[in-house]
Amino acid sequence: MRFRPRLLLRLMAIHRTLVRYGLDEIILATHLFRPLRFVYRLSPRNWRRRVHHLPRGVRIRLALEALGPIFVKFGQAVSTRRDLLPDDIADELVKLQDQVPPFPSEEFRHIVEAALGAPVGELFARFDPDPIAAASIAQVHGARLHDGSEVVVKALRPGMRDVIERDVEVLYAIAELAHRYWKAARRLRPVEVVAEYEKTITDELDLMREAANGAQLRRNWQGSALLYVPEIHWDLCRPNVVTMERIHGIHISDMDALRAANTNIRRLAHNGVEIFFTQVFRHNFFHADMHPGNIFVDVSDPEHPRYLAIDFGIIGTLSERDQHYLAENFLAFFNRDYHRVARLHVDSGWVPPDTRVEELEFAIRTVCEPIFNKPLKDISFGQVLLRLFETARRFNMEVQPQLVLLQKTLLNIEGLGRQLYPELDLWETAQPVLEEWMRERTSPRTMFTRLYQSFPEISENMQALPPLVSALIHRTSEGNIRFRVEDPELSGLRSDNARQHRQRYGAITGAALLLGGVFWLGMGIAPEWLGWGLGGAGVACLAWHRPR
């Protein structure tokens, strides 16, 4: 890896910031920077170092603010886990959620006018000069439309894209160094993790994408009593400016205000877990930046409080395969079926294929069994995470970069639950949601719906079969079919390929028979036994040719 001048300058700037806020000793105490201690102590800047009298938490917060948006986002994520932080640091990091120093209002106004192509006075009946909130990437001001609607206007901070690109370059440099010189890097896949993060943070810089995410979330939860998503005003949205309905509620972290409103805290915490699992598995479209600064509570009906969500820049989705394995893992975990958990980890490729399932089962049971039947307040997740990391290292469990966003969100949700209602039973709340989703996923109605949606593709494949069969018969009759002797590895690959083709054509045939039976019965054509026979043959064919 070659260090470019911009990268070296950024690393030096990070070092200066750490020294300025008296955090260099913390950083240099870590394993990665120990070789630099000697160079650091020779620095003339260190000879006349001043004593910093600000509290430790304040210095950490100020340093993260000075270092930029990626570091602020790290502080935001960590701030949701007060159980893993000293109180003085947690109290300060919470301020990073929406209390980052703002940039000048005149500059904000200029950005909005340049993006929307008109003076603010023409666009809005009222525009508030003081910001409502200032975060790491954007700033928000209140306004009123000419029709009387209350809205908020969000604009990106100036120069954000260059700042993000510069710091992502630093992350890549650290990840590549780790990949080259750290034995555990192959398992932790740091370069892939940074690449996944780069996609996420780059998407967050496009406010039109955020507006689209918000519109989709609003459709998903339209009419729900659990979550409300504000309306997007599309005419006032651009890649660096977004305008949406203004919501009014209590910050999720303001426990005093929630209690003063007689809010049913237990139900609120329960609903938060249900919302998360519904987004991940039923909608496959989840809000992945759920720190307290982005969540409010509508307490107009205190007994049935409703979440109010904002900031949709980071949205997560899963592949169907990952979704299935995760749901199976969760349910097996809830049922304490640790053998099933271990087997799923092997089948999904998350651990090496030669892993002994029984050994992995025993290790998972040892870590997880002590936390069942305990409320959140009695669980030391710091200890649980350490044990899980040890288990992962022992079995060479690879990090799945595509799941990092989900894991981060799950940690945020668990942290919120701990703040709201420490007696919350996460397992009891999540299990019914997952079980219902699995039942729906495997129901005959869902199967028929999927087959119906796939019928055009199945039909095309079926139309392609006769020419293929005819060509095969023709070549066979002319003696043009050749057989080759190959080495064992190539033979194995060919066998796998052939098996996949058999499964594919068997599935097509089974689907065709099943659809034929359904249409036969649906049309009311006699004899009915033929319809049932076709359907049964199709189901048997699908079962026989399912992937093993």
| HSE-up of residue 383 (Cα within 13 Å, Cβ side) | 8
Q: CA–CA separation, 202 vs 409, rounded Å?
A: 18
Residues 50 and 5: beta-carbon distance below 8 Å: no
Return contacts of 370-378, CB within 8 angstroms, 24+ apart.
372/336, 372/427, 375/422, 375/423, 375/424, 375/425, 376/414, 376/417, 376/418, 376/421, 376/422, 376/423, 376/424, 376/426, 377/418, 377/422, 377/423
CA dihedral 530, 534, 540, 542 (to 10 degrees): -170
The one-letter code for the residue type at 301 is D
Q: CA–CA separation, 370 vs 379, rounded Å?
A: 9
Ramachandran region, residue 68 (left: φ > 0; alpha: ψ -120 to 50; beta: rest): left
Q: CA–CA separation, 231 vs 361, rounded Å?
A: 47
State the angle between helix axes of 426-441 and 265-277 in degrees (0 to 180), rounded to the nearest 10.
Answer: 40
Task: Tell me the CA end-to-end span of the chain in Å, nearest whole number.
Answer: 42
Sign of the dihedral defined by the CA atoms of residues 376, 380, 385, 390, in that order: negative
Q: Which of 227, 301, 291, 222 is nearest to 261 (CA)?
A: 301
Q: CA–CA separation, 238 vs 246, rounded Å?
A: 18
Residues 151 and 245: beta-carbon distance below 8 Å: yes
| Residues belonging to the active site | 289
Return contacts of 6-12, CB within 8 angstroms, 24+ apart.
6/166, 6/169, 7/169, 7/170, 7/173, 10/166, 10/167, 10/169, 10/170, 11/170, 11/173
Look up residue 419 and give its two tokens: 């703040």
Residue 196: phi, psi to the nearest 5?
-65, -40
Contacts of 314 (CB under 8 A, 6+ apart): 200, 203, 204, 287, 288, 289, 405
Contacts of 123 (CB under 8 A, 6+ apart): 112, 113, 116, 236
Q: Which helix (H) or strand (E) holds 134?
A: strand 126-134
Look up residue 410 and give its two tokens: 């799950």
Residues 276 and 188: beta-carbon distance below 8 Å: no
Q: Which of 462, 456, 319, 329 is nearest to 401 (CA)?
A: 319
CA dihedral 175, 179, 185, 188 (to 10 degrees): 40
Task: Spell out the SS3 assignment of 60-88.
Answer: HHHHHHHHCHHHHHHHHHHHCCHHHCCHH
Tell me whether the omega of the peptide bond preceding residue 466 falls within 30 degrees of 0, making it cis: no
